[in-house]
Structure 1
Amino acid sequence: MKAIDYILAPVVAIVLLVGCGTAPSTQTETISPSEESAADPGVATGGLDPTSALALGTLKLEGTEHAVTPAQATALLPLWQMIQGGSLQGDAETDAVLSQIEGAMTGPQLSAIEAMALTIEDQQAWMQERGIEMPAMPGGQAGPGAPQDLSEGERAKLREELQAMGSMTAEERATRMAELGIEQPQGAPEGGPGSTSGRAGRSNALLDPLVELLAERAAS
């Protein structure tokens, strides 16, 4: 059996040409640093990157009618652990896992998170309330179920598996994970926080409490 069967891992400035006078000429519109940053919602506007927004939003659903259910937690736990593990390479793999996470959540849950319009300040406030410090970006050990030292071919197959799971129900997804040998812990995960890749940088401090919450909810 192939190794992949045991692991699942897995703005643009527009140049405008403007005619000046009678002589044909071109002029490139320049964009100031502040304008360029504002085009990225995760930079100057204070918006969070997709991973952080989804993680914090899920945590903030607690205490509301949209809180994650035990069944959802069972499906979400191994997916968040893959992001926490730090072995996903680039946005493509991170986006694939995020798609699976969104697929395991309901429309009202995702709409509630979107309506929060979460910012970096929201993340800092949430962490401060709980005495959590924003970490420096250390490397870490991969969490359970994270793909390790995969070849390019194995990573391609991993992405195909993740995409195929997008149309599955939570039960079918859990069954497929079991077939692939992905462990779904019933307790809090072992090991410390991992470093994430792609656009998950600012989510590091959110992953430990989120994974802990999901582990407890899945076991309830």
Structure 2
Amino acid sequence: MSRTHIFRAFLLLVVVIVLAGCSKAEPTPVPDAGTADTASGEQSAPEGRTPGMDGVNGLALGTLRLEGTENAVTPAQAADILPLWEMIASGSLQGEAETTAVLKQIEGKMSESQLAAIEDIGLTFEDMGAWMEEQGVEMPSRPEGQQGGGPGAFGNLSEEERTQTRQEFQNMTPEQRATRMAEMGLQRPEGAPGGGFGARPGGGSGAWQGGGGRFNALLTPLIDLLTGRAAE
């Protein structure tokens, strides 16, 4: 074999060795848990303002508990959030997602100091029971023949009709909303004033009963409070 062939073979061997070394993949760094979550856009869901209660009861009771403090709801805020609370009470919302969306709208009308004050209270269902007892609020019995969790007056509406109903409620005056609810078979407690949902005769407040099967003993006093405050 000539020197030329030997030299070419040697060069070929060197090239092969170099290419083999370059082809080795570098280890991919493994991000820590925090970096991985941020990069993928997956973050743990934020804890609610009232972890000891569901969203509706927590925000309702928290708003009521702000009364008598510097963070009490103002007349302008009451006018803004009253139709939203009446929308929740009406039973026209479909599923937790829609209810949560309306609760977010309510929170958006309130100040950070108000929301922080509600969060600092750390409300629980025991607090709800104590408040109801103190205020003389009675948990109503379910009307005869009505099944729990049923769709009620809005059960046969399509998604488009539900959306239209919610928009109508937002654009109505308190008197128009009360009339509309009556037309749809949603009953106010006996003795409640025409613009709101007030106390029953005899002193104690009863829970407003919507056609959607929701029995929330806090909605009656809250809506009554907001109705009066908005009129100031």
What TM-score do the two structures reach when normalised by structure 1? Answer: 0.58
Pick from 184, 193, 198: which aligns with 2:208? 193
Pick from 211, 215, 223: which aligns with 1:211? 223
Q: Structure 1: 5+ residue runs without aligned partners?
A: 1-40, 140-145, 162-176
Pick from 68, 75, 78: which aligns with 2:80? 75
Match of 2:179 in 1: none
d(CA) in 2 for partners of 1:60, 1:131 = 15
Match of 1:151 in 2: 158
What TM-score do the two structures reach when normalised by structure 2? Answer: 0.55
Match of 1:108 in 2: 113
The AA in structure 2 aligned to 1:111 is A
Tell me the secondary structure at the aligned position of residue 193 of structure 1. coil
1:66-119 deviations in Å (ceiling 9; x for gaps): 000000000011111111112212101111111111111001100100111100
Say if 1:47 and 1:119, in contact at 8 Å, map to a contact too: yes
Q: How many residues align?
A: 152
Say if 2:89 and 2:210, in contact at 8 Å, map to a contact too: yes
d(CA) in 2 for partners of 1:110, 1:196 = 30
Distance change >3 Å, CA 154–CA 187, structure 1 → 2:
closer
Identity of aligned residues (%): 54
- Using the TM superposition, give the Cα deviation of residue 134 of structure 1 relative to its aligned residue in structure 2, in angstroms: 2.4
d(CA) in 2 for partners of 1:188, 1:158 = 19
d(CA) in 2 for partners of 1:196, 1:58 = 24
> Which has the larger Rg?
2
1:1-41 deviations in Å (ceiling 9; x for gaps): xxxxxxxxxxxxxxxxxxxxxxxxxxxxxxxxxxxxxxxx9
Higher relative CO (Cα under 8 Å, sequence separation at least 6) belongs to 1
Q: Structure 2: 5+ residue runs without aligned partners?
A: 1-46, 147-152, 176-193, 201-206
Say if 1:88 and 1:196, in contact at 8 Å, map to a contact too: no
The RMSD of aligned alpha carbons is 3.5
Match of 2:68 in 1: 63
1:156-193 deviations in Å (ceiling 9; x for gaps): 6778x7xxxxxxxxxxxxxxx79x64223493248971
